[in-house]
Chains A and B, each alone.
Chain A
Amino acid sequence: MATLRLHSLTATSEKIPTSPFVPSSRVLSASFHCNEKRVSRRMTINAMGGGAKYKGTQMREKQLSEMIEKKVTEAKQVCEGDETSDECRVAWDEVEEVSQAKANLRLRLEVEKKDPLESFCLENPETEECKVYDD
């Protein structure tokens, strides 16, 4: 498991962006500098290795990523006609909603290091969702 986390109070050199959505993580800032977006994503996922433990959570992450992509495309289409229309605003609001949901999940996994399905899977270990995800 990648332990590239900085304790910001003890670090002296690198200034890490202090967004409330993104934990102080060297990996995430490294991903901005990679030319290959795919490579950077893989780097990010590997670093998150300590995160998604259950298959259900991994599926949720994937689902949310796909939703973001889909809804951004939808929003762009809807807004082509009229940027100030209700439909356009609602479409971008949906993008925000799923982006935030994805970020929350990521934050939960990386900062709290707890899979949201933890207590559910303790009670229902035999379900599909609760298969342990091998990194």
Chain B
Amino acid sequence: MAVCPVYTTQSLNSTCSISTPSKTHFSSHHNHLVFYRTSKRTSKRGGSSSCVITCSAGDSQTVVIGLAADSGCGKSTFMRRLTSVFGGAAEPPKGGNPDSNTLISDMTTVICLDDYHSLDRTGRKEKGVTALDPRANDFDLMYEQVKALKSGIAVDKPIYNHVSGLLDPPELIKPPKILVIEGLHPMFDERVRDLLDFSIYLDISNEVKFAWKIQRDMAERGHSLESIKASIEARKPDFDAFIDPQKQYADAVIEVLPTQLIPDDNEGKVLRVRLIMKEGVEHFSPVYLFDEGSTISWIPCGRKLTCSYPGIKFSYGPDTYFGHEVSVLEMDGQFDRLDELIYVESHLSNLSTKFYGEVTQQMLKHADFPGSNNGTGLFQTIVGLKIRDLYEQITASKTAAPLQATKA
């Protein structure tokens, strides 16, 4: 009957690594640790050794999410949508280095993996490696620190300054409830991969990448179409060799392609976005349209809903992706009006929303974010809700398991 969120001594050893006196942050670790003897409860239970010590650091083990994207850090509208799902805005650490890439909100901390560059800009120039190259990154440190944060230990993480191109003095990162590691190589190293509870890969097709970079850079004095094109071309070999292969490991891939609704469109304004969801991932149930596992093609615009050109087209169905079973939900086109969004939401299933219209509400909250009128915003929001669901499931199972152990 006693709801006692405690761990058996066995689980204590695995979640609270107290036998690490060499860790420099033992003091901060110590702050998170609360040891006490719940003698009252144990005596009721006949003095069993099970309900003895609790460790608050292990109480809610940090959930780690990996996001692979080739668009720098701290920008991420994806990150902002994600943190918004949990409530609160994510901000850089207060009073710290203003060039910090880290974002912190109540529940989440977003770390930019560029901070694990082993070579700064000068170093990379000397060695002749791009930032995409694994040789420019310290995967050992990345693994150690992500592992530490996951176990509830704070770390001193380096800061890579994108303006100066130098490695700045480290900043203290405390273990959050949800840790998101964002950057070029979250799934590159196998050890880091194993620490991820969920991983996402943002796969932008070449045509769309080109169109977006034109929009990003054309207003800059130094740039021209040629320089933008040359930059993409020059980075492509390293990108294809080191970054692209990570998508086979992702639990969810958001693929962004040019639209098929407008023939010969090369402006990258209307987008076709595919949400590729791996089947069989723990705590993750793919979103579906109408009938799970079947193949659907759906144009919502018609008698009930009027859309303007080029309209909206959805499709859903099972597929295989790098040898894995997946479900793919695809949206081509744009939302023009609020009621289109509500209509679409009402026909999707397994959204992990807490109330009807939550997806629409989240999209409206950030209506000025890029992608708010197409599949990128929609699927990013949905993935955010899925991550929330995953987090709740993981933390629920963490408290449930010991209870069962004590009952035994």
Q: Closest CB-CB distance, A24 to chain B, in whole Å?
A: 6
Interface SS of B by simple majority: loop
B221 and A17 contacting across the interface, CB-CB below 8 Å: no
> What's the tally of chain A residues with a CB closer than 8 Å to chain B?
68
Instruction: Give the CA-CA distance A59 to B201 in the complex, in Å.
Output: 34
Contact A28-B75, Cβ < 8 Å, known A18-B374, A23-B370, A93-B132: no
A88 and B212 contacting across the interface, CB-CB below 8 Å: no
Instruction: Give the CA-CA distance A40 to B220 in the complex, in Å.
Output: 10
Chain A residues 91 to 130 lying within 8 A of chain B, measured CB to CB, are 91-104, 107-108, 111, 114, 116-117, 119-120, 123
Instruction: Give the CA-CA distance A75 to B338 in the complex, in Å.
Output: 46
A7 and B368 contacting across the interface, CB-CB below 8 Å: yes
Contacting residue for B72 out of A11, A71, A75, A104, CB 8 A: A104
> What's the tally of chain B residues with a CB closer than 8 Å to chain A?
69
B219 and A70 contacting across the interface, CB-CB below 8 Å: no
B231 and A96 contacting across the interface, CB-CB below 8 Å: yes
Chain A residues 1 to 43 lying within 8 A of chain B, measured CB to CB, are 5-12, 15-24, 28, 31-32, 37, 40-41
B71 and A20 contacting across the interface, CB-CB below 8 Å: yes
> Interface centre among B128, B219, B369, by most A CB within 10 Å?
B219
Instruction: Give the CA-CA distance A52 to B198 in the complex, in Å.
Output: 36
Contact A17-B95, Cβ < 8 Å, known A10-B338, A97-B165: no
B92 and A116 contacting across the interface, CB-CB below 8 Å: yes
Contact with B along A49-87 (1 / 0, CB 8 A): 000000010001001110011111101100100010011
Q: Closest CB-CB distance, B101 to chain A, in whole Å?
A: 9
Chain B residues 155 to 177 lying within 8 A of chain A, measured CB to CB, are 162-163, 165
Instruction: Give the CA-CA distance A21 to B220 in the complex, in Å.
Output: 13
B337 and A89 contacting across the interface, CB-CB below 8 Å: no
Contacting residue for A75 out of B219, B230, B270, B364, CB 8 A: B230
> Interface centre among A37, A75, A107, A117, by most B CB within 10 Å?
A107
Contacts A22-B215, A99-B223 given; 20 further ones with Cβ under 8 A?
A6-B368, A8-B372, A8-B373, A9-B336, A9-B338, A9-B363, A18-B370, A20-B212, A21-B215, A22-B370, A24-B368, A68-B221, A79-B230, A94-B125, A95-B227, A97-B121, A102-B220, A103-B217, A104-B75, A107-B75
Interface residues of chain A, those whose CB is within 8 Å of chain B, are 5-12, 15-24, 28, 31-32, 37, 40-41, 44, 56, 60, 63-65, 68-73, 75-76, 79, 83, 86-104, 107-108, 111, 114, 116-117, 119-120, 123
Task: Name 15 A/B residue pairs within 8 A (Cβ), A-sorted.
Answer: A7-B368, A9-B341, A9-B363, A21-B75, A21-B216, A44-B219, A65-B220, A65-B222, A76-B227, A76-B230, A93-B130, A97-B131, A99-B231, A104-B73, A119-B95
